Amino acid sequence: MSYDVEALRAREFPWAARGDRIYLDHAATGPLPQRARDVQAEANLNRAELWRVGFEYFWDGVVKGREHAARLLNATPDEIAITTNTSQGVNLAARALPFRAGDVVISSAGEFPANIYPWMGLEKAKGVFLELVPMRHRLPDEDAIIAALDRPNVRALTVSWVSFASGARLDLQRLGEACRARDIWFVVDAIQGLGPAAIDVKACHIDILATGAQKWLLSPWGTGFAYVHRDLIQELDPPAVGWLSMPASADFTRFLDYDYAFYPDARKFEVFTAPMHDLKAMAASLSLFLELGPAAIEAHVASLADHVVQWCAGRRDVTLITPPERSRRAGLLSIAVDDLAAASARLATAGVSHTVREGGIRLSPHLYNTIGELDIALAALAPR
């Protein structure tokens, strides 16, 4: 179960095949594969002269986006709502889940603010309190998170699948089972895991999953999706109400027959109009993941990460912040060095895209990167 990386580079990432850049910054923003660029360019032309194509041409990105996202998650398209970023999905969870005053939401310290502020906002709005479980050695502490679920009045757990800073990957199945056993809602910010790692939302008992597609899913800014478990859809009231969320708007010749009745599926959470040609590009990018296969991609990225882990293990001048075990990381690797600014400057000089986050150099290789590229990056990171 593998794919031809060189052929993939030539076809979808020609700038990488030419050696223009060593791009190891998918944890920040992903580049667009050729197929998404082509779709976007074509859609841009068609947008300019939109009488040339029908509405269906643009709407196709929404339909395929839901279908492809569902396949990536092991969900069904009726459980997918198209969103424009991760935050929209997290806000959907925070505002739609039927919390009562005094309820408690558990999360981990060290979360990216997109999965913190929407929950903090609940304190004033609904009297719901967010409690953060301290990290252990700069990593989320899974045992302590599970122990915290037994505190009084806990109604929800919300975590990032993969930490933006350390790259630590949580065991979603374990956490999901712990939530299920206690009848607690389980919300996941998947943006740093989905793409380099495969997921099954059913096996993990996830109630709501939020992700933008702009990073590891190699899609335009302003694209993303949320998964809402089928059993919850009826129960939840959308925090923002869209005109296309109702079957009453399905007939475009008769909008004024208002009927405040939502679709029985996740369309009720969508708020249109969205960036339609970017969604077409997202659908194209997601098709690449389905073609290569999420498991094959995960295996490729894991082998790249193994290389970095082994390199770090053999040196005294760098410290890997990311957990070394395969099961506890995905594509994001964080490495502490003595002089971060100097290391970052050397990487930049070597033409390696990366970021500095929370005391570490963040290298985030993906499905088309190679060991050869990593070797150039690592040589620049710690030259002696």
Neighbouring residues of 328: CB distance < 8 A, sequence distance ≥ 6: 168, 169, 171, 322
Listed ranges 68-76, 119-127, 186-194, 240-248: which one lies at the site for ligand PLP (CB under 6 A)? 186-194
Size of the site for ligand PLP (CB under 6 A): 12
Q: Considering the complex, state which of residue 58 and residue 225 has its C-beta at the smaller distance from ligand PLP.
A: 225
How far, in Å, CA of 31 to CA of 160, rounded?
22
User: At 108, which helix (H) or strand (E)?
Assistant: strand 104-108
Q: By CB under 6 A, is residue 23 in contact with ligand PLP?
A: no
Task: Please state the closest distance from residue 120 (CB atom) to ligand PLP, in A.
Answer: 15
How far, in Å, CA of 104 to CA of 291, rounded?
41
Binder of ligand PLP out of 62, 184, 191, 308 (CB under 6 A): 191
Residues 343-362 that bind ligand PLP (CB under 6 A): none
DSSP 351: T
Q: Considering the complex, state which of residue 8 and residue 118 has its C-beta at the smaller distance from ligand PLP.
A: 118
> Which two three-digit tokens encode residue 366?
């993906």
Binding mask 273-302 for ligand PLP (x = CB under 6 A): ------------------------------
Q: By CB under 6 A, is residue 192 in contact with ligand PLP?
A: yes
Binding mask 132-161 for ligand PLP (x = CB under 6 A): ----------------------------x-
Burial of residue 338, with CB atoms counted within 10 A of its CB: 0-12 exposed, 13-18 middle, 19 or more buried: exposed
DSSP 52: G
How far, in Å, CA of 102 to CA of 85, rounded?
29
Binder of ligand PLP out of 167, 176, 212, 294 (CB under 6 A): 212
Strand pairing class (154-160; 185-189): parallel
Residues 107-136 that bind ligand PLP (CB under 6 A): 112, 114-115
187 CA to centre of own chain: 13
Q: Which residues bind ligand PLP (CB under 6 A)?
A: 85-87, 112, 114-115, 160, 164, 189, 191-192, 212
